Amino acid sequence: MSASFIRKTEDFICENCGREVKGNGYTNHCPYCLYSKHVDICPGDRAADCGGLMKPVAVELRKGERIIIHECMKCGYRKPNKSAPEDNFDELLRVMKENPIN
């Protein structure tokens, strides 16, 4: 966790699938469809001006953890995010199959 991390517990409605998401202070994407939103410069600061929807474009395994790679559909910014235990495993597999990392 970086020193500039700002923990915010926020609930939200996913702009991609419309599901209600209960935040826990570390929630950075929808656990149902895995989409995120380009709102931060540093995690939790809500300082990004873009506001674009971030599509899950890949899933990598790093040190035994699943990392979701999100790409902003508005500006193209790419950012890795750790997957969470409550993430839809079938959706993680779908992203992995559609976008294999060589």
Quickly state the pLDDT bin for 77 (edges 50, 70, 90): very high
Q: Does the residue 102 lie in any domain?
A: no
Q: Does the residue 75 lie in any domain?
A: yes
Q: Does the residue 83 lie in any domain?
A: yes
Using DSSP's 3-state secondary structure scheme, residue 95 falls into helix
Q: How many domains does the chain have?
A: 1
Quickly state the pLDDT bin for 21 (edges 50, 70, 90): very high
Domain that holds residue 72: 12-97
Mean pLDDT on 80-97: 94
Residue 99: both structure tokens together: 């976008």
Q: Does the residue 2 lie in any domain?
A: no
Whether 2 has a pLDDT exceeding 70, the answer reads no
Q: Does the residue 3 lie in any domain?
A: no
Q: Which helix (H) or strand (E) segment is 57 a member of?
A: strand 53-62
